[in-house]
A = this chain, B = another copy of it.
């Protein structure tokens, strides 16, 4: 089962040396199609890259010199096919990369020409009805971060009925699993906060800011979360959940910025302390809650902007 796991891509020494960016793409295309679609022929290269047949032959030769064990020619279907010993040469053929690409194609985030996917299985993606970020708002925020400037905004918070004028000094972006935020110093509240980008309007880039992102302690503090399957579940359900989360000896650990702790707990349904009744809903528990409680309390006094 472990024949071609993603973590064992060969060192650079073993991979073919492309003569150009374009050839690099084509060698990766060959590797990708073999891994995920089981076959490749020269016409695939000609059609996708608008190259000549002789160029396609050169590319295939270059690939098979580097990895002769990966492919064999099947005269019946006039294609090179993946061998049972196939090992991907490039991280571009990684499993997560492939799945992300399927998802991005399905949700029209990726244009087909950017993708190496030829044959696509039927896909179902759980829809998220979140608002798209507006391009102009995002590019304005990016400019402010890049140039270290303040931005004048109107922000719809959760506390006041109308949007409030806020001058912010943004320094980073965050994705909470659902929505994109900009992380910024709020000159009104005099503190670093999260602003949901979809709630920001009327933006103008101002002067250089005097705020240093180094002072955003919660952003830079990394915390460790330790989770396990919910102990109130029957053993077989715990086993299944351990597989889902890739747990090792019943637990898994991961890092999270202090600033993102609430969102991580929310995403994993761990905001409220678990009890015996919560197994079916929560599935997992946070083993080091006591250790994290002071960090949770700190956020509770502030929450988002």
Give the complex CA separation of A271 and B254 in angstroms: 27
Inter-subunit contact B5/A135 (CB<8 Å): yes
The reply on A134 being an interface residue by CB < 8 A is: yes
The reply on A289 being an interface residue by CB < 8 A is: no
Inter-subunit contact B177/A128 (CB<8 Å): yes
Inter-subunit contact B264/A127 (CB<8 Å): yes
Inter-subunit contact B96/A201 (CB<8 Å): no
The reply on A212 being an interface residue by CB < 8 A is: no
Pick from B142, B175, B246: contact of A132, CB below 8 A: B246
Q: Which residues in B have their C-beta under 8 angstroms from that of A35?
A: 135, 139
Inter-subunit contact B100/A245 (CB<8 Å): no
In the assembled complex, the CB of A87 is this many whole angstroms from the nearest CB of chain B, namely: 10
Which of A69-77, A235-243, A290-298 lies at the interface with chain B? A235-243
Residue ID in chain B nearest A170 by CB atoms: B121
List A residues 90-106 near B (Cβ within 8 Å): 90-92, 94-100, 102-104
Inter-subunit contact A243/B156 (CB<8 Å): yes
Give the complex CA separation of A201 and B182 in angstroms: 41
The reply on A299 being an interface residue by CB < 8 A is: no
In the assembled complex, the CB of A179 is this many whole angstroms from the nearest CB of chain B, namely: 6
Give the complex CA separation of A196 and B104 in angstroms: 20
Inter-subunit contact A263/B176 (CB<8 Å): no
Interface size on A, residues (CB 8 A): 112
Q: Which residues in B have their C-beta under 8 angstroms from that of A22?
A: 21-22, 49-50
List A residues 213-263 near B (Cβ within 8 Å): 213, 219, 225, 227, 235-237, 239-240, 243-246, 252, 254-257, 259-260, 263
Q: Which residues in B have their C-beta under 8 angstroms from that of A263?
A: 126
The reply on A124 being an interface residue by CB < 8 A is: yes
Q: Which residues in B have their C-beta under 8 angstroms from that of A135?
A: 3-6, 35, 88, 94-95
Residue ID in chain B nearest A99 by CB atoms: B180
14 new A-B pairs (CB below 8 Å) besides A36-B139, A92-B114, A128-B267?
A1-B134, A5-B136, A22-B49, A96-B107, A100-B100, A100-B104, A122-B219, A124-B173, A126-B176, A126-B263, A126-B267, A127-B254, A130-B245, A198-B246
Question: Which residues of chain A have a CB within 8 Å of any CB of chain B?
Answer: 1-6, 20-22, 24, 35-38, 48-51, 88, 90-92, 94-100, 102-104, 107, 109-111, 113-114, 119, 121-139, 142-143, 145-146, 156-162, 171-180, 183, 196, 198-199, 201-203, 213, 219, 225, 227, 235-237, 239-240, 243-246, 252, 254-257, 259-260, 263-264, 267-268, 271, 281
